[in-house]
Amino acid sequence: MVNEQNEKDVFVRAYTAMVLSRTFDKKIVMAQRQGRIGFYTPSIGQEATQVGLSMALDHDDVIFQYYRDVALMIHRGVPIEVILDQIMGNAEDESKGRQMPSHYTAKKYNFMSVQSPVATNLPLAVGAAYALRYQKKNTVVVATFGDGSTSTPDFHAAMNLAAVFNLPVIFLCENNGWAISLPTEKQTKVEISEKAAAYGMKGIKVDGNNFIETYKATMEAVERARSGKGPTLIDAISFRMGAHSTSDDPSKYRSQTVEEGSEKDPITVAEEQLKSLGYLNDSLIAKIKEESTKMVNDKFDIQEKIPAPVPSTMFDDVYAEKNWIIKEEEDDIL
């Protein structure tokens, strides 16, 4: 929680996480072009949303995140190495190189495991919230997802269930305006925050480019959840400044862009806010950016040397113990 004593530290830490995430994104997109990485879904443009969310949560709160949550992970303290290992799919990756890049698992940090089929994490968040309440834990569960994901049956099912059971869940829609090539106005006829009313839950629309506003909105939802008042849907509006993924070419379907450093860039917004609060100045900003770049470059080079997982690992963890079928196939293949 932010208060008068810690505000400067908390805000500067938030800004630093945003910068680190941005630096990381640019590095990975570049590395993909150089053939050093297979694929990536950048968070660029969504840093303020993710950091604002993270600021309102405790360590014990559980997050069913999606594939674009690097700033969220960084702010929550997940080491860059953990994120890199997943993207590289190397021997130290928590999911043992099994998942495509951007599909993170970070159990220690209460980050669940990312799947590709969008919004299928939402009903899981509802079930988790039910279980945690049953266990008398005062924990909040968060699910993140994109604007496009609100069209799915899973979104509907989860919203309805969470409201019916009055559960401590926060649905945080990272509304970046696009679902690959489809703009939000072609995805849905109403504001995403308005959908909440139909299920009987609170809906909040917030400027997702503003980390302080997103933090406040999330804090309101967290307090509602912890005091037994039920779920909240937050529609955090930002803009997908990059491509959908490294396989995507947005010039085919949109002319609209947000330039880095422009007033619509959430990092610029944060810089202006923190400068006017007197917490940052240009030289501090330059220092934070420089340190981020060095850190990302150094760590990338180190993690890149880690080899692929040994082939036999691909047969592990399908079950607690391998059945005869898998044993036989492993013997045949290796």
Partner 1 sequence: MVQALNSTLDHIMSGDNSVILLGEDIGKDGGVFRVTEGLQAKYGEERVIDTPLVELGIVGMSVGMSLMGVKAIPEIQFQDFIYTAFDQIINQMAKMRYRSGGGFTLPMVLRTPYGGGIKGGLYHSQSGEAYFAHTAGLVVVTPSNPYDAKGLLISSVESPDPVIFLEPKRLYRAAKIEVPDEDYRVKIGEAARPMEGDDLTIITYGAMVPTVLNTVKKNNLNADVLDLRTLLPMDVNAIISSAKKTGRVVIVHEAPRTLGMGAEISALISERAIEYLYAPILRVTGPDIPFPYRLEDYYMPGETRIMKAVKRVMEFR
Ligand X SMILES: Cc1ncc(C[n+]2csc(CCOP(=O)(O)OP(=O)(O)O)c2C)c(N)n1
Just list the catalytic residues.
Answer: 240, 244, 253
**Which of ligand X, partner 1, Mg ion, none binds 68 (CB below 5-8 Å, type-dependent)?**
ligand X
**Which of Mg ion, ligand X, partner 1, none binds 213 (CB below 5-8 Å, type-dependent)?**
none
Determine which residue in the list 121, 176, 210, 218 makes contact with ligand X, applying CB under 6 A.
Answer: 176
Using CB positions, name the residue nearest to ligand X. 146
What's the chain look like in SS3? Answer: CCCCCCHHHHHHHHHHHHHHHHHHHHHHHHHHHCCCCCCCCCCCCCHHHHHHHHHCCCCCCEEECCCCCHHHHHHCCCCHHHHHHHHHCCCCCCCCCCCCCCCCEEHHHCEEECCCCCCCCHHHHHHHHHHHHHCCCCCCEEEEEECHHHHCHHHHHHHHHHHHCCCCEEEEEEECCEECCEEHHHHCCCCHHHHHHHHCCEEEEEECCCHHHHHHHHHHHHHHHHCCCCCEEEEEECCCCCCCCCCCCHHHCCCCCCCCCCCCCHHHHHHHHHHHCCCCCHHHHHHHHHHHHHHHHHHHHHHHCCCCCCHHHHHCCCCCCCCHHHHHHHHHHC
* Residue 252 binds ligand X (CB under 6 A): no
Which one of the spans 78-86, 147-155, 304-312, 322-330 is the region binding ligand X (CB under 6 A)?
A: 147-155
* Residue 254 binds ligand X (CB under 6 A): no
* Residue 240 binds ligand X (CB under 6 A): yes
**Minimal distance in Å, beta carbon 40 to ligand X?**
12
**Minimal distance in Å, beta carbon 266 to partner 1?**
24
The site string for ligand X over 45-84 (x = CB under 6 A, - otherwise) reads -----------------------x----------------
Binding site for Mg ion (CB under 5 A): 146-147, 176, 179
**Which of partner 1, Mg ion, ligand X, none binds 115 (CB below 5-8 Å, type-dependent)?**
partner 1
**Minimal distance in Å, beta carbon 4 to Mg ion?**
36
* Residue 147 binds ligand X (CB under 6 A): yes
Q: CB within 8 A of 11, min separation 6: which ones? A: 2, 212, 273, 274, 277, 279
* Residue 149 binds ligand X (CB under 6 A): yes
**Which of partner 1, Mg ion, ligand X, none binds 38 (CB below 5-8 Å, type-dependent)?**
partner 1
**Cα dist from 23 to 19, 294, 316, whole Å:** 6, 10, 35
Residues 64-103 that bind partner 1 (CB under 8 A): 89-90, 97-101, 103
Q: How far apart are CA 321 and CA 268, in angstroms?
A: 51
The site string for ligand X over 81-120 (x = CB under 6 A, - otherwise) reads -----------------------------------xxx--
What torsion, rounded to 10 degrees, do the Cα atoms 251, 254, 256, 257 define? -40
Which one of the spans 10-18, 52-60, 129-137, 176-184 is the region binding partner 1 (CB under 8 A)?
A: 176-184
Q: How far apart are CA 176 and CA 49, in angstroms?
A: 10
Point out which residues bind partner 1 (CB under 8 A).
38-39, 89-90, 97-101, 103, 115-118, 148-149, 151-154, 179-182, 186-188, 247-248, 252-253, 308-309, 311, 313-315, 318, 325-326, 329-330, 332-334
Point out which residues bind ligand X (CB under 6 A).
68, 116-118, 145-149, 174, 176, 178-180, 240, 244
